[in-house]
Amino acid sequence: MTTAYTEVFDPEGVRHGIPTFPWKWAPEGLATRRQLRAQGLRPGGQEPVAQVMRLRHRGREPLVAYLYRVDLALPVRPMTAAKQAALDAAMTARRTCPGCRAEADYCIPRSIGLCIPCAYPDHDSTAIAA
């Protein structure tokens, strides 16, 4: 095992306070939130039982993903009509240009704050689409 793996390999949780494994070395039966979601599950209020850690270069903080027991995970709550309506309204607001009030087929960039035709009126908009 290389030095990098030995720094993050702590299956008893002595060094990090929680069992820690190198990236992609998680034991069977444990999954991250994203992995649970891909299976149609959620942690369901359980605390993380372990973590996977990946060291990074130049003294940056390591990447950490908490692991949850799959057997204790609960199914994802179904989407309600009210929640779907709220998400649709939020996406419409993200696509509506505050300058011309037109709804674009993309989310308005926050860095610009306007749709492309309003932000760059002198630029040929057909060249952007091509």
Question: What is the model's pLDDT at position 2?
Answer: 57
46 — phi, psi (to 5°)? -75, 150
Domain boundaries, given as residue ranges, for the chain: 3-75, 81-129
Give bridge partners of residue 68 from the DSSP assignment: 31
pLDDT mean across residues, the chain: 88
C-alpha pair distances (Å), 22 with each of 19, 65, 80, 105: 10, 10, 38, 42
- 30: number of Cβ within 10 Å: 21
Residue 74: pLDDT band (50, 70, 90) is: very high
Question: What is the model's pLDDT at position 79?
Answer: 93
Q: Convert the pLDDT of each residue in 5-57 to its tens digit.
A: 677 788 887 888 899 999 888 899 999 999 999 999 999 999 999 999 888 88
